[in-house]
Amino acid sequence: MRVRSMVAAAVAAGLAATGVGTATLAGAAPADPAPAAATLAVGDFDFTRPQVVATGLTVPWGMDFLPDGSALTALRNSGQVVRVRPGQAPEQVAQISGVNASGEGGLLGLAVSPGYAQDGYVYVYLTTTTDNRIVRFRLSAPQNQEPVLTGLARSTIHNGGRIAFGPDGMLYAGVGDAGQTANAQNPQSRNGKILRMRPDGSAPSDNPTAGSLVYSLGHRNVQGLTWDAQGRLYAAEFGQNTWDEVNLIVAGGNYGWPTVEGRANDPRFRDPLLVWTTAEASPSGAAVAGNRLFVAALRGTRLWTVPLTGTGGVGTPAAELTGAYGRLRTVEYGPDGWLWVTTSNRDGRGTPASTDDRILRFPPKDTTPPPTSQPPTTPPPTTPPPTTPPPTTPPPTTPPPTTPPGTPPPVSCRVVWQPNQWNGGFTAEVSITNLGFPVTSWTLTWSFAADQRITNAWNAQVTQSGSAVTARNAAWNGTVPQSGTVSFGVQGTSGASNPRPAAFQFNGGVCLVQ
C-alpha cells in the first residue's frame, strides 16, 4: 500500500500539564474516539503504577521475551545477556564475545526466534573492533555464537542496532550510516538502511532487489522497529539537528537522508508520518500495543504515545513519564500484557540515579474490573453465610433458583486477542483477565468462524477439533488471582479471511472480548 505525502498539519506546542508536544503529523487524522466507559482498549496503560523489575544495570539496550514470559536484555557496555523476571534478581545467561563498547557501539539489539520452541535461537546485534554484526546462540550453549551477518560498517556513532522478527518470520535490522552520510543513498551499502533477511542471514526472494538484504534506504540511524496488527512496519529514527522521525516503512522506500531531514514533499522520497524536534525526542525503541505506538525518547526523557488510525496514519501524540526516569532507551509490549521500559542513564549522556539503570513495567488500565463487577459465584450481600442458614432456608436438596430462566451465564473474564497476520497465516497474543474468584487451573475455549487452524502455541496447551479450540494452562501459569491477567500465544494458518473469534468461555463462564 502506498501512502501519499500530504501537507503537514502543525500540532500546537503542548503544556506540561497536557503532555502534548510540538510534533507535526503527515496527513494527521483525529485520535480514535474514546472507548465506552466500561471498556478500555489494549494500549491503555496506567503510568501511575510502575513496577520496578530490575535495578543496577548498565545500559540495558535490546529486549525480547522467552516463551515462559521472562525477558532477555542485552547490556551494551558489558556484553552480557541477562534474564529478568518480576520479583527476581537479574540472571546472566550469556556473555557475548568480541563486544567493543566504544561510543554508541556495544551489545545492542536482541531478538528471540519466533520458532524458539523448535530452534532455541536468540539473536543479538553487536559492535566489534572491526564491524557491526548479528550473531545467534542458544541458552543451552551460549558460548557457541554463530555469525548470521557480518561486515556492517561500524563507528563511534550511528551504529543503529535494533533487530526484530516481523510477522512474516523474517529478521529486520536497523543499520545506521556509521557517520558516513553517503552510505544511506548507496544501494550497494548496507549502512543507512533497514535490512530484511531470513533467520540464517540470507536474502529472501521477495526483497525489493534480488540477492540484496536492503529493504528500505535513506536512513540516518534507525533504532526502533515495530509492527501493527495489520503487519505494517513503523520505524523510529534519529535526525541530525532539527527533526526526529517516525516512518511507515514500505519495501524499497527511500526516506531521504542525507538529502532530507524531516519532510521535503519531494516525490523522490517518502515523508515521515510524524516529526519531533530533537530536544523532544531522540527516539530509540518503539512498540505497538493495540492502537497505540509507543516511542522511547532519550534526550527528550519521556515516552511518546502515538494513536494509530488503523489505516497507516497517526493521531496527535502525547508525552508520558516526562523527566520521571531520565533517558528512555527501549519499550516493549510484554506477553504479560504490561508495557516494559528501560532507562539509559549510564550511557555517558545522562544523570544516573543510584538505582540506574532500571527496567520498569506498567500495567494495563483494565487489570482491575469496574467496582460494580461481582464475582460470578459470590452470593448477594443479603444472603446469610451458608454455614448458618436461617430457619426459613429450604433444605439443600431443593435450593431456590438463583437466576431467572433464560439468564445468560455470568461474566468470568475479559479477553484481549491481538493478532499479527499475513497472507495465509497469523499469530495472536491472547490475554485473559480473571473477573471471578481465584483459580488454580483454567481452560479457555472459542470457535473460529473461517478456515483457521492452530499450528503452534506457547504458554498454553492448545488443541483444536474442527472450528472449536481449547487452550489449557501450562504447568507454571495455572494460578490466576481475581483481577489477575495471564497471557499465551498461538500461531496458525488461515484462508482468504482471518476474522477474530467473537466469543470465549473461561472455565465455562462467558468473557468480555476486546
Q: How far is CA 370 from the centre of its chain?
A: 26
Three-class secondary structure of residue 182 per DSSP: helix
8-state DSSP, 480: B
So what's the architecture of 411-513 in CATH? Sandwich (2.60)
* Non-local CB neighbours of 514 within 8 Å, separated by 6+ positions: 39, 40, 41, 42, 366, 414, 415, 416, 417
With a cut of 70, say whether residue 141 has pLDDT above it: yes
Q: What is the pLDDT of residues 142-176, one digit of tens each?
A: 999 999 999 999 999 999 999 999 999 999 999 99
> What average pLDDT does the chain have?
85
Nearest to 416 by CA among 31, 44, 34: 44
Q: Rounded CA gap, 223 and 103, in Å?
A: 16
Nearest-angstrom CA–CA distance, 157 and 235: 19
Q: Concatenated DSSP letters for 3-17?
A: -----EEE-PPPPTT
512 vs 514: CA distance, rounded Å: 7
pLDDT of residue 381: 42
Q: Let me know: does 285 contact 310? Beta carbons within 8 Å.
A: no
327 Cβ contact list (under 8 Å, min separation 6)? 297, 298, 299, 301, 343, 344, 345, 347, 349, 350
- Report domain extents, the chain: 36-367, 411-513
Q: What is the mean pLDDT of residues 206-227?
A: 98
Output the pLDDT for position 438.
Answer: 85
- For residue 441, what pLDDT is reported? 86
Q: Name residue, grid cell 515523508.
A: 271
| Helix H or strand E encompassing 117 | helix 116-119
Render pLDDT for 445-504 as a digit per residue (tens, 0 to 9). 999 988 899 988 888 888 888 888 999 998 778 888 888 899 998 988 888 888 889 889
Angstrom distance (rounded) from CA 176 to CA 237: 9
Going by C-alpha positions, the residue among 296, 348, 350 that lies closest to residue 156 is 348
pLDDT digits (tens, 9 = 90+) for 4-61: 222 223 333 333 333 445 577 764 433 343 333 333 456 789 999 999 999 999 999 9
* Residue whose C-alpha cell is 543507512: 192
Q: Which residues pair with 127 in a beta bridge?
A: 132
pLDDT at residue 191 greater than cutoff 70: yes
Percent of the chain with pLDDT over 90: 64
The whole-number pLDDT of residue 260 equals 95
Rounded to two decimals, what is the model's pTM?
Answer: 0.70
* Least confident window among 80-94, 283-297, 421-435: 421-435
pLDDT at 392 over 70: no
CB 121, CB 138: distance < 8 Å: yes
Q: How confident is the model at residue 512 (pLDDT cuts 50, 70, 90)?
A: confident
Helix (H) / strand (E) containing 119: helix 116-119
- Mean predicted confidence (pLDDT) in 214-227: 98
Residue type, 392: T
What number does CATH give the domain 36-367?
2.120.10.30
Q: What is the pLDDT of residue 229?
A: 87
